[in-house]
Amino acid sequence: MLIALHTASRMSEFDCDASSAAVKRAAAWLRRSVLAWFVLLLVSAGFAGAAWGQGVDLTNLKVQRAEDALQLNFATKFELPRGAEDALLKGVPLYFVAEATLYRSRWYWRDVRVNHISRTWRLAWQPLTRQYRVSFGGLHQSYPDLAEALGSIRSVNAWRLAELSQIDDDVKHYLEFSYELDTSQLPRPMQIGLGTPQGWTLRVERSVSLGTEPGK
């Protein structure tokens, strides 16, 4: 009888110890989870509004008011991937695209898209003249080396973003901007079954709050 009571007592102590250990493990897991979420929130807050990019640094992005319009200035910094440069010298033209969209915030419904602008540059190598040619719209310009050609498409100043008549100075506005090497415009044989050529990704995006009275 005494042996049975002693055994039951030991088993009870074992159950208590197991329960205590389980509670401690659960508490430790909860603390780690809370800490992980806290770190994630800090990281998210720290990078809010920063540019996301692959291979491209956005060194300037500014909206300013002109006499009758909002104007956008931007500048990027990047080097052409070796594979893209080799393709260029083999006669494959490259396309660079910049896009900007201006939005007006609304708390009661979806935000209003005020205006959208885009610009595409075509960069090609001309073996007969041994020059690089940059085309934009109906304009063309030739350059003696790649550095000068890329310099002409890395930045834009006084780009007309929206008319002032489209702006409501009492409401917040924000800008979404992107700049990229557009691989979707490569020749079909380079796209079918291959996806984006290895190491060719050049892209940057940024969303910027302009507040009320943007450009001032």
Query: From first to last of its 216 residues, what are the pLDDT tens digits of the chain?
Result: 434 434 444 444 444 444 555 545 554 544 444 333 332 333 333 333 455 568 899 999 999 999 899 999 999 999 998 989 999 999 999 999 999 999 999 888 999 999 999 999 999 999 999 999 999 989 999 999 999 999 999 999 999 999 999 999 889 999 999 999 998 888 876 665 445 556 788 999 999 998 766 777
* Rounded (10°) CA dihedral 139, 142, 145, 149: -10
Q: How far apart, in whole angstroms, are the C-alpha atoms of residue 132 and residue 89?
A: 9
- Please give the structure tokens belonging to residue 15: 């159950």
- Please give the structure tokens belonging to residue 187: 């020749």
- Half-sphere exposure at residue 91, Cβ-oriented, CA atoms within 13 angstroms: 2
Contact 170, 212 (CB under 8 A): yes
Q: How far apart, in whole angstroms, are the C-alpha atoms of residue 106 and residue 193?
A: 43
In the chain, domain spans: 1-48, 52-211
Confidence (pTM): 0.73
- Please give the structure tokens belonging to residue 2: 């005494």
- Half-sphere exposure at residue 181, Cβ-oriented, CA atoms within 13 angstroms: 25
